[in-house]
Amino acid sequence: MNVSDSEIVASVLKNAGYGLTHDPLVADVVLINTCAIRENAEQRVRRRLEFFRSRKRKHNPDLRIGVLGCMAERLRGKLLEQERLVDLVIGPDAYRDLPRLLKQVETTGQSAVNVELSREETYAEIAPVRYDSNGISAFVSIMRGCDNMCAFCVVPFTRGRERSRNAGTIVRECQDLFDAGYREITLLGQNVNSYVDGPIDFPTLVDRVSLVSPDLRIRYSTSHPKDCSEALLHVHLERPNVCNFIHLPVQHGNSDVLKRMRRGYTSEDYRELIKRARRICPDLSLSTDIIAGFCEETDAEHQDTLNLMSEIEYDHAFMFMYSERPDTYAARKFQDDVPPEVKKQRLSEIIELQNSISLKKNRQQIGNIHTVLVEGPSKRSDAQFCGRTDTNKMVIFDREMLQPGSYAQVEITDCTSATLFGTVRESSTHF
Ligand code: SAH
Ligand code: SF4
């Protein structure tokens, strides 16, 4: 989501006459787009800020440093006190104001802050500048904010109320991307299932975007389990280019913990949803987010998370230690009382289990042929290309005569828990 927001910021600044550099050491303005979701995300930002501040002190007193996004929104003016030499503090709904604020900093020499949240801003008609893109896959933001108020989560405080972007501008952006050679779109929102623009709900939007071209792959993130509808699953079934993959974060396997987390479903509800999804879309690939060591979590409750993971067998998971965020419901109502070493132990059990499941699921793919969207050279070698399967698994294969942006039929020959390896059997520009 921050990548997508930074592309909007780049567009706003480009329209105001600013150029973009990939080298931070030659920049006149450095803007750090921040995350506040966990304490360690904020610590990383502070370390990065320290680097630029020392540069400003020692080499370039005219360097302007700005902090954008969720950490800016959470700390507001406090950031200016804590992080001296920061010139700008700008929340996620104030990016259109950046050129004015930068000018203000130039003319007054004073720092500037705008952390106002909006009920309307969706940056709907701004054409993102995809400055770091591979030219094949793009994020398209479809909504902003979140109204869910999960007990552990800072997002509703930093990103404000939920609002949906106009559907026409979304479809147009996807069409423009396809025309420019992009072949994969990920529709983005904190809770995409609650997208609504008049009569257009999320399944309808996904369907419309899928009609841009049968050769354009569609993904989305994040889908909230409490709102994931049958209609959406049917769109997956009916449209081959809507990928056979859903990220459906469960967070925990125990219903009492889910209640404390205020997620709005029980572990039984969630199991039912997965059964229904797999009935409608056989071979659906699933990923999840899991939090270890939430407030008051007992050993038995932790065991329920492991049990649920073993039962569902996710293809992939993002796994985190609980990190208390100031002012959230959990911070106000519960004790963050699981000792750090216990949190760590539980998280490593979760990670170990998931690695073994991912490896098992990947091994099951050996011998199967997948349609892979070719992205470009793999990280390790220019002689090999990488790309994703419909089910969102990364595959490495020999480069041969393939072009990025084309599709290839790849037979899976080997794997690790994170990556598949394969041999190209056929290639095509079509899906
Ligand atoms: N909107 C998405 C989640 C966005 S945040 C959803 O509801 O699924 C991404 C992930 O960060 C969450 O799914 C959760 O697993 C994790 N997370 C959020 N707050 C956290 C916290 N305080 N401590 C640890 N992990 C957290
Ligand atoms: Fe946070 Fe819950 Fe909203 Fe996701 S749905 S962003 S976890 S409050």
In terms of DSSP bridges, do strands 163-164 and 143-144 run parallel, antiparallel, or are they unpaired? Answer: antiparallel
Longest CA pairwise span in the chain (Å):
66
Which of 155, 194, 195, 288 is the pocket-test mutation for ligand 2 (most atoms within 8 Å of CB)?
155
Is 294 in contact with 252 (CB distance < 8 Å)?
Answer: yes
pLDDT in tens, the chain (431 residues): 999 999 999 999 999 999 999 998 899 999 999 999 999 999 999 999 999 999 899 999 999 999 999 999 999 989 998 888 899 999 999 999 999 999 999 999 999 999 999 999 999 999 999 999 999 999 999 999 999 999 999 999 999 999 999 999 999 999 999 999 999 999 999 999 999 999 999 999 999 999 999 999 999 999 999 999 999 999 999 999 999 999 999 999 999 999 999 999 999 999 999 999 999 999 899 999 999 999 999 999 999 999 999 999 999 999 999 999 999 999 999 999 999 999 999 999 999 999 999 999 999 999 999 999 999 999 988 899 999 999 999 999 999 899 999 999 999 999 999 999 999 998 887 77
**Nearest ligand, measured from the Cα of 42:** 1
Which of 144, 153, 290 is the pocket-test mutation for ligand 1 (most atoms within 8 Å of CB)?
153
Which of 1, 2, 37, 148 is the pocket-test mutation for ligand 2 (most atoms within 8 Å of CB)?
148
Which of 38, 190, 262 is the pocket-test mutation for ligand 2 (most atoms within 8 Å of CB)?
190
Letter for the amino acid at 367? Answer: G
pLDDT at 364: 97
Measured in Å, residue 150 CA sits from the centre of ligand 2 at 6
Which of 320, 321, 350 is the pocket-test mutation for ligand 1 (most atoms within 8 Å of CB)?
320
Measured in Å, residue 273 CA sits from the centre of ligand 2 at 19
Rounded Cα–Cα distance for residues 48 and 103 (Å)? 24
| CA nearest neighbour of 421 among 367, 352, 357, 358 | 367
- Which residue CA neighbors atom 1 of ligand 2 most closely? 153
Ligand 1 surroundings by CB, under 6 angstroms: 37-38, 152-153, 190-191, 222, 224, 249, 251, 289, 291, 320, 322-323, 325
Rounded Cα–Cα distance for residues 394 and 386 (Å)? 7
Give the 3-state secondary structure of the chain.
CHHHHHHHHHHHHHHCCCCCCCCHHHCCEEEEEECCCCHHHHHHHHHHHHHHHHHHHHCCCCCEEEEEEHHHHHHCHHHHHHCCCCCEEECCCCHHHHHHHHHHHHHHCCCEEECCCCCCCCCCCCCCCCCCCCCCEEEEECEECCCCCCCCCCHHHHHCCCEECCHHHHHHHHHHHHHCCCCEEEEECCCHHHCEECCEEHHHHHHHHHCCCCCCEEEEECCCHHHCCHHHHHHHHHCCCECCEEECCCECCCHHHHHHCCCCCCHHHHHHHHHHHHHHCCCCEEEEEEEECCCCCCHHHHHHHHHHHHHHCCCEEEEEECCCCCCCHHHHHCCCCCCHHHHHHHHHHHHHHHHHHHHHHHHHCCCCEEEEEEEEECCCCCCEEEEEECCCCEEEEECCCCCCCCEEEEEEEEECCCCEEEEEEEEECCC
**Residue 266 in tokens:** 């029980």
163 forms beta bridges with 144
Measured in Å, residue 349 CA sits from the centre of ligand 1 at 19
pLDDT at 24: 87
Is 223 in contact with 248 (CB distance < 8 Å)?
Answer: yes
pLDDT at 428: 80
Measured in Å, residue 103 CA sits from the centre of ligand 2 at 35
* Other beta carbons less than 10 A from residue 277's beta carbon: 20
Ligand 2 surroundings by CB, under 6 angstroms: 146, 148-150, 153, 155-156, 190-191, 224
Q: Among all chains, which residue has been given the structure tokens 């070719």?
A: 374
| CA nearest neighbour of 196 among 147, 149, 246, 233 | 147
pTM of the model: 0.96
Q: Among all chains, which residue has been given the structure tokens 């049917």?
A: 234
Which atom in ligand 1 lies closest to the alpha carbon of residue 191? 1
Measured in Å, residue 195 CA sits from the centre of ligand 2 at 14
Letter for the amino acid at 203? Answer: P
Instruction: Note if the bond before 107 is cis, omega within 30 degrees.
Output: no
Measured in Å, residue 319 CA sits from the centre of ligand 1 at 9
Rounded Cα–Cα distance for residues 53 and 410 (Å)? 48
| CA nearest neighbour of 285 among 227, 220, 361 | 361
Is 226 in contact with 149 (CB distance < 8 Å)?
Answer: no
91 class by beta-carbon count within 10 Å (0-12 exposed, 13-18 middle, 19+ buried):
buried
**Nearest ligand, measured from the Cα of 325:** 1
Which atom in ligand 1 lies closest to the alpha carbon of residue 328? 22
| CA nearest neighbour of 170 among 207, 116, 214, 133 | 207
Which atom in ligand 1 lies closest to the alpha carbon of residue 153? 19
